Structure 1
Amino acid sequence: MYIKNPILKGFNPDPSILRVDDDYYIAVSTFEWSPGVVIHHSKDLKNWHQIARPLNSTYFIDMKGNPDSGGVWAPDLSYSDGKFWLVYSDVKVVNGPWKDVTNYLITADEIDGEWSEPIALNYSGFDASLFHDIDGRKWFLNMIWDHRVNRHNFNGIALQEYDPVQKKLIDEPRNIFKGTDIKLVEAPHLYRINDYYYLFTAEGGTLFNHQETVARSKCIEGPYEVHPDNPFISSFYRPNITLQRAGHGSLVETPDHEWYFAHLTSRPLPTDTESILDNRGYSPLGRETAIQKVTWKNDWPYIVGGNFPQDEVEMPIVEETIWPDDFPIIDDFNETTLNHQWNTVRNPFDEKMGSLSVNPSHLRLYGQGSFHNHFANSFVARRWQSLNFEAETKVISNPTTFQQQAGLVAYYNTNNWTSIHLTWDPDQGKVVDLLECDRRTLLQPLKNSIKVPENINYVYFKINVNRDKYFYSYSFNGKEWKKIDIIFDSRKLSDEYVQEGGFFTGAFIGLSCIDTASRTLVADFDYFRYEELD
């Protein structure tokens, strides 16, 4: 029995893996998307399903105004003293000399239960984690951000004791590991195994030169010696393998004392267009989560098969547990709350954004700001989890100005997206139109917008994605579809293409309603279908 990588498809980076008894959990980053932090559950390390999204209100995190790729970076999930501990960040600055990050801690008795009031622990750097030592003491780690001129921004790994009674960090932080010559040391995870403390860190940045570094010491404060065959895992030296950008991960032991390492990776599309780094292509699905089997030699961990990611990995010795699909192919919006496939940008879904009850069996969105608005918009979306799918919706909306639009959107961030939508043309009335935003430049690729007949209420929109290309279609009756002969590049919704302004997420497909005129536009979506194709 083998595990096929990646195990979490689509935008699911920075995995923090944990076992409690016979259950495995992985928490992943969500950046500016809400609800923050996604937790997945498995019984066998092969089959996973989404179980919780803890940061579901501004009580836990307020990301209003956050930049693209700000927000929740690299959560850390642990279990001790009969409860779950979750460390997460809120990064307010992505580009610039400072990061302005706050690291928080919350706890819960049940993984899908109520979480405690957030405790702000420190502000000195991102990728924080919590280590529970065998003597009961708890230690907080994070990378140290150095804003000073002529200094490397990644200054090392800080270690500081956490007092669970006082609910605060005590004593002074110690810089226990400066990293290697690869630089950009981040993502610390600490483990106590036999006689050693093992410090796992990511280095090299999160593009194609990414790697995981392991160091060990018999004293928690160091000094730490680096793995003799470092890097522990990387794709950098193997440009032709499927799983690229491997690194930033965490370790788990099975009940039968087998070891596995969960890590981020991406699957770039081969492309004839010159890539930014090593011509390895572009990854619209973003950074995903894969898992590798680990063996031990001379008290050092090694990836089984070599220090690069394997496409298939031997399963642990356990009966396979297969879960129902997380999300329905068709969402008829018959529930009173959005199901767990849906995400919003920065702000949680609320009555200002929309409703599932005002018009039963419809998702109603109220027109707010544009995709460039970091404070208020009405946009719900789900991850691309395949590069061969189609998505479809049915919408009724009555714009009365060109400043109003409602429709279907393929989205990476505020500066990189496309949309097919209903809007208003002063000469034709209600029309179907396209917009594209390419690295902040707004384009209107349709020379002539498409008039909606007077007797038509609902309009149907569809997107077809076929690996490196995608296109939109529309219908006025849901049966006869008309393809718009404008082809878009999937690569433009990828980390590698975006780079500037934040490039840590992945492609989404979603529904939106924009009104920069009067904020009175209403759009009712009757259903949403997302179907992966062979």
Structure 2
Amino acid sequence: MTATRTSVRMARNPVLPGFHPDPSMIRVNGEFVVATSTFQWFPGVTLHRSTDLVTWEPLPHPLTRRAQLDLRGVPDSGGVWAPGLSHVDGTFHLVYTNMLGYNVDGFYDSPNYHVQAPSLHGPWTDPMPLHARGFDPSMFHHEGRSWLLSMQWDHRPGRNRFSGILLQEFDRATRTLVGDAEVIFTGTAIGLTEGPHLLHRDGWFYLVVAEGGTSWSHAVTVARSRNLSGPFEPDPAGPMLTSSGHAGLELKKAGHGSLVHDERDRWFVAHLAARPVDSAGHCVLGRETSIQRVEWVDGWPRVAGGVPATAVAIPDDYPVQQPAPVTAFGPQWQSVRRVPDPSWLSRTERLGAIRLRADQSPASRHDVSLFARRQRALSEDLTVVIDAAPAHFQQMAGLIHYYDSALWHWLQLTHDERIGRCLTVLTCDQGTLIDPLTDPIPWPHEGPVRMRARVDRTELRFAVARPHGDWQPVGPALDARLLSDEHAARTAVAGATGTAVEGFTGAFLGVCATDLTGRRMVCDVLDAS
């Protein structure tokens, strides 16, 4: 339902708070739609719609079947990279990378796929494989024809890994690539050129790319050409948008932009940005989606000051987007690498509850029984009520603050052979397990347990309670900064080969249930708020 407003409103950035990176934005039938990356989280690709750019409604994920997206075993921060959403002739097109493995000093295994649907609500087709030349695919439609773009990865030692932006024609009838791929742009001196999007305006083809990497030097660069295949000349004024070199900005890492306009030729750019929780720059929420106004100056799209603003004026004539109704365990809840099927997650076996069948540990990259939602604010709580009956120390269930398989904090209801039913906490820091408690805490009470995680910027505190009892703190304050891209970045050296592992996701809060005995302990999630 929409209603026309009569006063100016402001969009507050980030408009999609929490882990929502690499936005691809389109406008269809009076609505803005944004697709963002999900990496190792399932279902794949988040979609949000808005009539006013202020309030955003989550839509069903398009990649909901293993046939569309197989994430089992993908590395941390692998999976879906930078989807490209487009619409032409009544059909929605989505292209995406499923990053199966990456090594900055070697190969990237980056197959790209295409799916399509008549509606944002589906049904989305099975995927058509495209190529694995690089990542960050998008589509460009012009005068009845279509093209696929991506960056090209050069694995050869001594070469520029980000070797240029590829363009190849795409046949919509057969959903296949035709002709030869050609490099149309090799980037600017900023380097690390990726994330391409093409648009056409006033006889010019404009190529919008991300440069500078995904961290503090990130930027949006625009180049233009009279010809689709180039040569493309970058804007002489430099990046259209960046946070680099601007110490006082609230939004850091601004980059990876997608331009869109409305029916009155008013332009906006959706881009990623991040909000550090401390002076050291730890971004626990990951990279989030923001928007900015774009003005055309001397034939170039420009953002005021070239920097991201935290508040953006929205045109008065946009219909107000009504907030979506809040539903328990809605599309904001996701699983990690795993299709949420009845073999481990059921919404019907216990009325009003989510039933998890415990499986592998949260350190696994395969079958983890973990159900969680994004942390969306710098300070945020999650309270859950779980019902489980662990009978062995290898059976455990509870509230988890999770970044990836190597970084998490986990409040557990478990069993200890010395004291029986008990509570404990485990921290995983880059794969090493740490016990923040001196001893497990006896919990002789049968039945459901209330658990709370309270994140306040850099600190995480756990607490527990009986169903109607008072909260009791569990353990000391924990370092929430472990769950950040910055902490995730590390280098492992094996002989003469360095393998750089980066973090591209963000913090989630949810429930994890593990059973290494093979008995598949049941954990019922009775409430989450």
TM-score (norm 1): 0.93
1:528 and 2:528 are equivalent in the alignment: yes
Query: Does the 8 Å contact 1:70/1:502 carry over to 2?
Result: no
Distance 1:441 1:120, change over 3 A: same
The CA deviation string for residues 191-224 of structure 1, in whole angstroms up to 9 with x for no partner, is 0111100000001100011001110000011111
The CA deviation string for residues 146-183 of structure 1, in whole angstroms up to 9 with x for no partner, is 10011121110011111122321111100110001111
What residue is the counterpart of 1:118 in the other structure? Answer: 127
Q: CA deviation at 1:111?
A: 0.9
Whole-angstrom CA distance in 1 between matches of 2:519 and 2:217:
46
User: Which is richer in strand?
Assistant: 2
Partner amino acid for 2:54? K
1:33 and 2:33 are equivalent in the alignment: no
Query: Does the 8 Å contact 2:56/2:323 carry over to 1?
Result: no
What residue is the counterpart of 1:487 in the other structure? Answer: 477
Equivalent position to 1:460, from 450, 455, 476: 450
Q: Cα RMSD between the aligned structures?
A: 1.3
Whole-angstrom CA distance in 2 between matches of 1:67 and 1:353:
22
What residue is the counterpart of 1:512 in the other structure? Answer: 512
Query: Does the 8 Å contact 2:436/2:475 carry over to 1?
Result: no
What residue is the counterpart of 1:316 in the other structure? Answer: 315
Whole-angstrom CA distance in 2 between matches of 1:33 and 1:350:
14
What residue is the counterpart of 1:262 in the other structure? Answer: 270
Query: Does the 8 Å contact 1:282/1:497 carry over to 2?
Result: yes
1:398 and 2:355 are equivalent in the alignment: no
Partner amino acid for 2:115? I
Q: CA deviation at 1:71?
A: 0.7
Partner amino acid for 2:433? L
1:425 and 2:416 are equivalent in the alignment: yes
1:109 and 2:121 are equivalent in the alignment: no
Q: Superposed, which structure 2 residues align to 1:325-336 within 5 Å?
A: 325=324, 327-328=326-327, 331=328
Partner amino acid for 1:156? G
Whole-angstrom CA distance in 2 between matches of 1:29 and 1:80:
22
Equivalent position to 2:460, from 453, 456, 470: 470
Match of 1:69, SS state, is coil
Query: Does the 8 Å contact 1:264/1:290 carry over to 2?
Result: yes
Equivalent position to 1:363, from 347, 354, 366: 354
Q: CA deviation at 1:520?
A: 2.6
Query: Does the 8 Å contact 1:411/1:417 carry over to 2?
Result: yes
Query: Does the 8 Å contact 1:419/1:435 carry over to 2?
Result: yes
Q: CA deviation at 1:107?
A: 1.1
Q: Superposed, which structure 2 residues align to 1:129-528 within 5 Å?
A: 129-133=138-142, 135-271=143-279, 275=280, 281-303=281-303, 305-325=304-324, 327-328=326-327, 331=328, 338-453=329-444, 455-500=445-490, 501-528=501-528
Partner amino acid for 2:189? D
Q: CA deviation at 1:326?
A: 5.5
Give ranges in structure 1 of 5+ residues lacking alignment: 276-280, 332-337, 530-534
The CA deviation string for residues 483-526 of structure 1, in whole angstroms up to 9 with x for no partner, is 12410122111111111334111000011110112243111121
Whole-angstrom CA distance in 2 between matches of 1:69 and 1:519:
30
What residue is the counterpart of 2:496 in the other structure? Answer: none
Partner amino acid for 1:299? G
Q: CA deviation at 1:423?
A: 0.9
Stretch of structure 1 that moved more, 469-478 or 119-128:
469-478
Q: CA deviation at 1:317?
A: 3.5
Whole-angstrom CA distance in 2 between matches of 1:260 and 1:411:
33
Whole-angstrom CA distance in 2 between matches of 1:507 and 1:248:
20
Whole-angstrom CA distance in 1 between matches of 2:317 and 2:67:
39
Whole-angstrom CA distance in 2 between matches of 1:41 and 1:218:
33
TM-score (norm 2): 0.94
Query: Does the 8 Å contact 1:327/1:340 carry over to 2?
Result: no
Query: Does the 8 Å contact 2:363/2:431 carry over to 1?
Result: no
Partner amino acid for 2:112? N
Partner amino acid for 1:82? G
Equivalent position to 2:109, from 89, 100, 117: 100
Whole-angstrom CA distance in 2 between matches of 1:478 and 1:363:
21
Whole-angstrom CA distance in 2 between matches of 1:262 and 1:396:
42
Whole-angstrom CA distance in 2 between matches of 1:301 and 1:49:
28
Stretch of structure 1 that moved more, 484-493 or 21-30:
484-493
Whole-angstrom CA distance in 2 between matches of 1:208 and 1:129:
24
Stretch of structure 1 that moved more, 192-201 or 317-326:
317-326
Whole-angstrom CA distance in 1 between matches of 2:202 and 2:399:
54
Q: Superposed, which structure 2 residues align to 1:61-100 within 5 Å?
A: 61-96=69-104, 97-100=106-109
Stretch of structure 1 that moved more, 357-366 or 246-255:
357-366
Partner amino acid for 1:525? V
Give ranges in structure 2 of 5+ residues lacking alignment: 1-7, 491-500
Q: CA deviation at 1:476?
A: 2.4
Partner amino acid for 2:509? I
1:5 and 2:13 are equivalent in the alignment: yes
Whole-angstrom CA distance in 1 between matches of 2:56 and 2:474:
37
Query: Does the 8 Å contact 2:164/2:183 carry over to 1?
Result: yes
Stretch of structure 1 that moved more, 61-70 or 392-401:
392-401
The CA deviation string for residues 426-476 of structure 1, in whole angstroms up to 9 with x for no partner, is 1001101000011211101111111112x5222211111112212000112
Query: Does the 8 Å contact 2:459/2:478 carry over to 1?
Result: yes
Q: CA deviation at 1:387?
A: 1.7
Match of 1:487, SS state, is strand
Seq. identity, %:
38
Partner amino acid for 1:101? S
Question: Number of matched residues?
Answer: 510
What residue is the counterpart of 2:23 in the other structure? Answer: 15
Partner amino acid for 2:337? R
Stretch of structure 1 that moved more, 214-223 or 478-487:
478-487
Match of 1:496, SS state, is helix
Partner amino acid for 1:291? I
Query: Does the 8 Å contact 1:49/1:326 carry over to 2?
Result: no
Query: Does the 8 Å contact 1:94/1:502 carry over to 2?
Result: no
